[in-house]
A and B are shown apart, each in its own frame.
Chain A
Amino acid sequence: MSKQINLTIDGKQVQAAEGTNLIDAAESVGVHIPNLCYLKGMRGIGACRLCLVDVEGGKAPVVGCITKVKEGMVVNTATEKLQEMRKFIIDLILSMHPLDCMTCTKAGVCNLQQYAYNFEVKESNFTRKKFGYPVDEANPFIKRDPDYCILCARCVRVCKEQGTNVLDFMGRGVGAKVATAMDKPLQESECTFCGSCVDACPVNALLEADRWRKGREWDYIKNNSVCLSCGNGCDITVSSKDGAVVKINSGSAEGSVEKYICAIGRFGFESLSSDARVTTPMKRVNGSLQETTWKEALDLVAEKLNKADGKTGIVSTAGILNQDAFILSKLAAEVIKTKNIDTTASLYADVDSMKFSDSVDFDAADVIVIAGLNPSQWERTLPALDAGIRRRVSRGAKLIVLNSGNTRIASEASISVQADEALTLAQIAKALIDKGRKAGKELTDAVSGLSVTEDIEKAAEMMVKAAQPVVFCAPSLFNASRNLSLLLDIKVVAVPAEANARGVVAMGLTTEGKTYKEMTSGEVDVLYAIGELPLTKRPNVGFLIAQTSYMTDLAKQADIVLPAATYLESEGTVTGYLGKNKDVKMVISPAGDSKQHKDIFIQLSKVLGAALKETAEIKSANEVSKPKFIPFEKKKGLDSSPADIIEGTNASVINHSKLLWLKEALKAGV
């Protein structure tokens, strides 16, 4: 823990960690220092000057966003003179800001509105300035209205820090404008429509495109939940109104590098109410799927499962909740009595990598190694990992990229080794041993014959010097990467492609019979398929049960379809790739007759004659095991790329929301 500093802010005793700025320190005791350009976690720029505070003994006021706490400091944040100056600045900003709070969507959460209220600036005392910039609303995601912009540069800095680097200032002073390169519309820039800028904007200059008259902040019910679209499982804050989701924002703590969600997480919710949803059970009658009742459907499923006589298989996505997975594994073992149960996680991850990955504080990582992974915001494969790493690098962390192919993130790396990853890891181990790190005989022998290049030498040096080195690796490289933890204190995390891969493995959804690949290639008679599986063709099985939220290609070919709730309609927990258990909230009630996965399993167990109960306590997923040496090899058979899995499991969401526009636009090469 870093050194604690004692100071006084507005007469209150404050204790803050060394290096904390005055705004954060004041916030910790409930004193708000006004600011418009400050963004927690990022270096202050002192542009808006609202956070100027008096420090006793100082000559002139100092800016709270940059000034760090000092022992014995006495700070006054709201002297009459300071307040008058703040009022002056708000007054100036208001003179160039439309005064249409009565129809403004941002009313209620607009910082400028709040400060104008606090400082009693009803109308600007200065000359009204109007710019008349064109509004950029050519894309269906983000609306940019520069007339509202107060030039705080938050969006510009957020975009730059996470490496997207689309927005910047054009011109300077009052006439400046936030624009893309050559002032092109967003879709013609490199914008990924992640919407980080929307979350950062303090006013109405950047907004979700379709928000007009869909209610304002005080109309919404807000819930913190988790996005389960990909392996990053980002925190989200979901706003709903009248039983429908209106918008989704990033929900991670202010200032955390994890504060990012991609376009799928932010804008994919439209698919919840699309006609692709399955809202009633369906069964195949004379070759076509027809609506039926839950009773009839479950009776039929039970009958088929009973008749299958051991030739039953259950496959699921790894995007279901821990509670779902827990009951499913019980259902398989105790009720259906089959060992053929597996998840899509087996396509890209082995059990070890999911069970023994470390828990990591991303914000503390100062040397990050990524092995065999190619996260990309632009392709939306593990985009939050990409953004998070770039943010950490912007904040001073070092990045080492080990990949046999080309990666875009390599441009951010201090060291990038483009060679076989397992070999490189072994070479790093060798370099570490050469530096005097102690290792067991097995490990020493395994790497003894290797040569070490200058880059690998440097990489090893970096890891040794780091306070908290972290390896993010492809699950297939987990064992190879984990050998490094025999040599130094390093955290190793295998990054799965799906949000709850660590959870479903911990809940026991790993096969002791047939694997996912075997089952989906027709080695069972009755296949119970759960979730939106990355399959488009019906496996060659006698009877196919599809339990899904959307009418996927697979569901269309099923014999029976059970409507399941989506993750925004379910309640439970997931285990994120960083090892943290996260709460998933039921934000809206399940559409139509659909039910949560676990409820369907419980109902089904009743019909099968052995009623399961929902157990309240679900133990955390993390298992701790002492690492031991395993040869430096890339594990075979885990060849499904995260990109394919993410595309496959999210196909329904993408094709039935405005994300389709983005997909088409990318194809068209706009």
Chain B
Amino acid sequence: MTEETTQVKMEDVQAKADAKKCPVQRSLVFVEEFLAGPMCGKCFPCSMGSYEARVRLKRIVDGSASEEDIEKVNTISSHMLVASMCKRGKDTAKYVQEHIGSSEVAEHLSGLCAKHECVEHLKYIIVPENCTMCGDCLHACKDNAILGEKKKPYLSGYTPFEIVQKRCTKCGECMKVCKYDAVKLISAREMVEKEPVKV
């Protein structure tokens, strides 16, 4: 174990994970911070197990997971808890195990993230009723994902702004700048269910 790896403490890892609300995000952040920091790599179950757990958790986050992935994370953490050499591996396993059983995790399989943190499960949309076409979001969007033209008072016939989902990287900047509550975060599934908005 080198000096570097000892610098990040397990408490720091947990603090970073606890800053998230979604149980999947918490687990993933914990595992990722653990792998990047205090994981010493001395025993197989911990180093290989947490690596595999990260792969599975990432799948849950990006929406490509199936029930099997959650089950595997469960298996990994329960074995890691027993087989790991030291407390750090065991703590990681315990943390993941505490979170992976939550029903919120299972919801991710159907595209829901209750805490609105797993961006792949979310979409930013513009509520046409609220949009004043002020253009602030247009400026804020670094990805050129927002379509629309700033409204000029003497002209008519403008349509509200729209977010091109394929371009959107879900950075959330548009939501921050909107003064009219016109940018909304919804679950991906919700949008599919809704009827097209009439203007």
By a beta-carbon cutoff of 8 Å, the part of chain A in contact with chain B is 45-50, 52, 60-61, 81, 84-85, 88-89, 92-93, 95-96, 125-127, 129, 151, 169, 172-174, 176
Complex contacts, A81 vs chain B, CB 8 Å? 82
| B1-57, CB < 8 A from A | 1, 5, 35, 39-45, 47-49, 51-52, 55-56
Q: Nearest B residue to A125 by beta-carbon distance?
A: B72
- The reply to whether the CB of B85 lies closer than 8 angstroms to some CB of chain A is yes
Choose from B39, B55, B56, B85 the contact partner of A173 (Cβ within 8 Å).
B39
In the complex, are the beta carbons of B52 and A48 less than 8 A apart? no
Query: When A126-B72, A173-B39 are in contact, do A49 and B45 touch as well, CB less than 8 Å?
Result: yes
A174 CA to B48 CA in the complex, in Å? 6
Collect the chain A residues with CB atoms within 8 Å of residue B40's CB: 172
Q: Once the chains are docked, how many angstroms separate the CA of A50 from the CA of B43?
A: 10
CA distance A307 to B155 in the complex (A): 131
B75: chain A residues within 8 A (beta carbon): 88
Contacts of B56 in A (CB 8 A): 127
Residue B83, interface by CB 8 Å: yes
How far in angstroms is the closest Cβ of chain B from A425?
45
* Interface hub of B41, B45, B83 (most chain A Cβ within 10 A): B83
Are the C-beta atoms of B82 and A85 separated by less than 8 Å? yes
Docked Cα-Cα span, A92 to B39, in Å, equals 17
- Once the chains bind, are B45 and A173 in contact (CB under 8 Å)? no
Report which residue of B1, B49, B52 has the largest number of chain A beta carbons within 10 angstroms of its beta carbon. B52
Contacts A88-B79, A126-B72, A127-B52 given; indicate if A173 touches B41 (C-beta within 8 A).
yes
CB of B51 to closest CB in A, whole Å: 4
Majority SS at the chain B contact face: helix
Contacts of B39 in A (CB 8 A): 172-173
Whose C-beta in chain A lies nearest to the C-beta of B86?
A46
Contact assessment for A92 and B44 in the assembled complex, using a CB-CB cutoff below 8 Å: yes
What band does the interface of chain B fall in when counting residues whose beta carbon is under 8 Å from A? 20 to 34
Contact of B43 among A49, A84, A127, A129 (CB under 8 A): A49
Identify the closest chain A residue to B42 (Cβ): A47
B1, closest chain A residue (CB): A172
* CB <8 Å contact, B43 and A48: yes
User: A residues within 8 A CB of B5?
Assistant: 172
B45 touches A92 (CB 8 A): yes
Shortest CB-to-CB span from B65 to chain A, Å, is: 12
Chain B positions within 8 Å of A, measured between CB atoms, are 1, 5, 35, 39-45, 47-49, 51-52, 55-56, 72, 75-76, 79, 82-85
Q: Which of A84, A88, A176 contacts B45 (CB 8 A)?
A: A88
Q: List 14 A-B contacts (CB under 8 A).
A: A46-B43, A46-B85, A47-B43, A48-B44, A49-B85, A50-B44, A52-B82, A60-B82, A81-B82, A85-B79, A126-B55, A129-B51, A172-B41, A173-B47
Nearest Cβ on chain A to B32's Cβ, whole angstroms: 12
Q: Is the CB of A93 within 8 A of B44?
A: yes
Report the bound CA distance from A447 to B85 in whole Å.
57
- With a cutoff of 8 Å between Cβ atoms, the chain B residues found around residue A172 in the complex are 1, 5, 39-41, 47
Given contacts A93-B48, A174-B51, 5 further A-B contacts (CB under 8 A): A52-B83, A85-B79, A88-B79, A92-B48, A173-B47
- On chain A, the residues within 8 Å of B45 by CB distance are 49, 85, 88-89, 92
**CA distance in complex: A173, B79 (Å):** 17
State in angstroms the CA–CA spacing of A50 and B84 once bound together: 11
B48 cross-chain contacts in A, Cβ below 8 A: 89, 92-93, 95-96, 173-174
A611–B47 CA distance with the chains assembled, in angstroms:
71
**Which of the listed residues A50, A61, A126 has the most CB atoms from chain B within 10 Å of its own CB?**
A126
Q: How far is the CA of A81 from the CA of B78 in the complex (A)?
A: 11
B70 → A minimal CB distance (Å): 14
Query: What's the least CB distance linking B48 to chain A, in Å?
Result: 4
The residues of A that contact B82 with a CB separation of less than 8 Å are 52, 60-61, 81, 85
Instruction: Give the docked Cα–Cα distance between A457 and B35 (Å).
Output: 52
Closest chain A residue, CB of each to CB of B69: A127
The residue on B at minimum CB distance from A37 is: B44
Residue of B nearest to A86 (CB): B83
